[in-house]
Structure 1
Amino acid sequence: MRFLMFGLILAPIAAFAQGPARDLPYRTFGNWLVGCDNTGACAALVLPEGEGPGRVYLRIARGGAGADLPEVSIVPVGGGAPAGGWRLSVDGGTAVGPLAPRPGDQTGRAPITARDFGTLLPGLRDGARLSIEATGRAVAAMDIRGGGAALRWMDERQGRNRTTTALVARGPGAPPASDGAVPKVPIPAPAPQDRLPRPPGVNAAGTDASCEAQGGGLPPGAAGRVTGATVGNPPPPVVRLAGGAFLYAYPCARGAQGPTSLTMVTNREGRAPRRVQFPRPGGAVATPANLSYAPESGQFGQSVRTARDCGEENRWAWDGLRFRLLSWTAMPLCRGVNEADWLVLHRAEPDPAEVPPPPDPPQRQARHGQGRPHR
């Protein structure tokens, strides 16, 4: 897939979302990190500790359908596995194993059977330390305090509390009726990118404002222009959106997330610009970092990542009126988790659709007594 890149980012990641913690689809519980997506699928990670080789982490993943069972594995940071496999135990209790990767799996991921998970589960809920041994010696240990709260939160997000499928608080209730299906979002075909107009002009006098300071809308009197932070930069990329509108991505600030863009959408004539934000649970993205566009799919992307194995990836598409979130994967903590195990926090599939009609313009109010009833 061909992407047009609107910037590069190599800076440390900042907080992903600006909304209250209760609105975020992920939470931490001590050394546990748990995240769920909009289909009800969840993953819980016991994060690796320390630095250097030999680090591992535990992953418990479960789909959102009522019949989905937990998929549990022990994963080495960066791949590789001991020849004899791993043995796991909690607080010196019964060990399970040896646990070894499937033949041909170069990642070193070792599945844990349902029987072995059942042995470990009481300790994961109430224990303090998960010990990992290989070839008869200890190779790692992880703090698992908070496991009961982490797994209970996961059960709650999936609607499993007090049901026969709960990991913590089991009860007589039936499993959730959800089928865990990925929702479809009506997205028109991408528009052609030929004969694009010039971007709106830049206000060279407005040097006292920055993209970040503009918040959710243009500053007063800025119709048709952008202020200070874009002065001296080359003309921004222009993308024709489905329905004929245009998006302009102005180079913005170089903050903690690296180069960001101020995005504006105009009408078919390239006029009447307005600020747009990219939706995401917990807080919209006002100035996306490393913004990209794929002409073949009409999808926009944001990529935020660091050399310490954390970051986020987002994809959005224009539905003819606004941007819709298609995917969000993230690793908010820089602890060495492999990218394949980053938290999946949102999923949607584009569904071919017609461009919706524009909303009716607001009616003007009557002036100087016009429209009043005659006496």
Structure 2
Amino acid sequence: MHIARLLTTSAAALALLGACTGEKPSTDAPAPDAAASATPAVATAAQTAPPATFKSETKEFREWTAVCDNVNNCAAFGPAEDDNGFVMVEIAAGPAARASVQLASWTLGNGNGPFTASIDGQTYTGHNTATELENSVLSIDRASDQLLRALSQGRDMRIHSGKESIPVTLSGAAAAFLWIDERQGRLGTTTALIRKGDKPASEVPVAPAPPRLTAAPAIAQTKLPDAASLPKALASMSAVKDCRSEFMPDSGESASVKRLGHDQLLWEVPCGAGAYNISYAYFITRNDGST
């Protein structure tokens, strides 16, 4: 559950769909991207690429997962033993982007000692940015070439807090880095995660501009059916039956419904619950619950 939540959160943060605005889109500068909040922007109006044509994509490489969004910001993710933590490498699109690394654990870092990482005996430090759900998060904003090389070639990686430590798998990291470099056009450049070369960063394609979305008029939430009783047509769907078979009724969650149009409803059906996570399935129907 922890791993699924963290990767989903990261992917959601990366998945920039552009600004929802009724105003004419500005062409003065590219929209900010979440994955490069600490990276100085270098693209100007003249350098901004056309609107994004990339598709969000996720790839599995042994124990590692790589994900890129529709404006080509990417992250690679590897789990710690028993899903008790993770290491994540993020890099935004464009020539100015540099990789950052985060390591987290929810079983370490309770004040028993400094929070560090080691790969094949070499120690790496950063600043601790703990959250309510993770006891420790070690952030390295600009990952060194040495660290990236160790992540792709290392054999033994561990997260430490005092005398405690947990291993992190590196199986698949190199392949995940290579896929990201290929997608972002970094191979052979000084900014590559793997297979660095002498080509300058300026040869990396500029980040594509995010698409602009215009918000639809608000719909009055009137004449809504009682969400406590799903329409028969909806309740009979196999997907809804599967959700109900997996859902724990004592979680306190229930179905809800919102209006999208005169004869169009959006249903939110609880589909699973855990210690920290609740998942839902969504269905669009007519007012009578059909289609």
TM-score (norm 2): 0.57
Q: Are 1:250 and 2:234 an aligned pair?
A: yes
Residue type of the alignment partner of 1:184? R
- Which aligned pairs between 1:79-98 and structure 2 lie closer than 5 A? 80-92=109-121, 94-97=122-125
What does residue 155 of structure 2 align with?
128
How much has 1:118 moved relative to structure 2?
3.0
Please list every run of 5 or more consecutive structure 2 residues that lacks an aligned counterpart in the other structure.
9-54, 247-254, 285-291
Structure 1, residues 213-239: CA drift from partner, whole Å, max 9, x if none?
xxxxxxxxxxxxxxxxxxxx95739xx
Name the structure where strand makes up a greater proportion of residues.
1
Distance 1:26 1:255 in 2: 28
Distance 2:89 2:164 in 1: 22
What does residue 178 of structure 1 align with?
207
Distance 1:69 1:300 in 2: 40
Structure 1, residues 224-261: CA drift from partner, whole Å, max 9, x if none?
xxxxxxxxx95739xxxxxxxxxxx823234544489x
Q: In angstroms, what is the RMSD of aligned CA positions?
A: 4.3
Structure with max Cα Rg: 1
Equivalenced residue count is 213
What does residue 293 of structure 1 align with?
258
Are 2:76 and 2:173, in contact at CA under 8 Å, matched by a contact in 1? no
- Which aligned pairs between 1:331-350 and structure 2 lie closer than 5 A? none
In structure 2, the CA distance between the partners of 1:188 and 1:78, relative to structure 1 (3 Å rule), is farther
SS of equivalent to 1:184: coil
Distance 1:292 1:85 in 2: 48
- Which aligned pairs between 1:1-375 and structure 2 lie closer than 5 A? 25-50=57-82, 55-77=84-106, 80-92=109-121, 94-97=122-125, 99-102=126-129, 106=132, 107=134, 108-114=136-142, 117-135=144-162, 137-171=163-197, 172=199, 174-179=203-208, 181-194=209-222, 236=231, 250-251=234-235, 252-253=237-238, 254-258=240-244, 292-293=257-258, 306-307=273-274
Task: Tell me: higher relative CO, structure 1 or 2? Use CA pairs within 8 A at least 6 residues apart.
Answer: 1
Please list every run of 5 or more consecutive structure 1 residues that lacks an aligned counterpart in the other structure.
1-11, 17-22, 199-232, 238-248, 261-289, 318-375
The range that moved more, 73-82 or 30-39, is 73-82
In structure 2, the CA distance between the partners of 1:63 and 1:79, relative to structure 1 (3 Å rule), is farther
Residue type of the alignment partner of 1:68? A
Structure 1, residues 111-160: CA drift from partner, whole Å, max 9, x if none?
12536x4332212112222122322x351112212211011112223232
Distance 2:211 2:283 in 1: 14
Structure 1, residues 52-84: CA drift from partner, whole Å, max 9, x if none?
xxx321111122233122221111137854443
In structure 2, the CA distance between the partners of 1:176 and 1:34, relative to structure 1 (3 Å rule), is same
What does residue 372 of structure 1 align with?
none
How much has 1:24 moved relative to structure 2?
7.2
Distance 1:58 1:151 in 2: 13
Distance 2:178 2:91 in 1: 13
Are 2:75 and 2:91, in contact at CA under 8 Å, matched by a contact in 1? yes
SS of equivalent to 1:250: helix
In structure 2, the CA distance between the partners of 1:132 and 1:147, relative to structure 1 (3 Å rule), is same
In structure 2, the CA distance between the partners of 1:294 and 1:56, relative to structure 1 (3 Å rule), is farther
Structure 1, residues 73-107: CA drift from partner, whole Å, max 9, x if none?
11113785444322322223x2223x4414x7554
Distance 2:205 2:267 in 1: 33
In structure 2, the CA distance between the partners of 1:308 and 1:165, relative to structure 1 (3 Å rule), is farther
Distance 2:138 2:178 in 1: 24
Distance 1:255 1:195 in 2: 26
Name the structure where helix makes up a greater proportion of residues.
2
Residue type of the alignment partner of 2:59? R
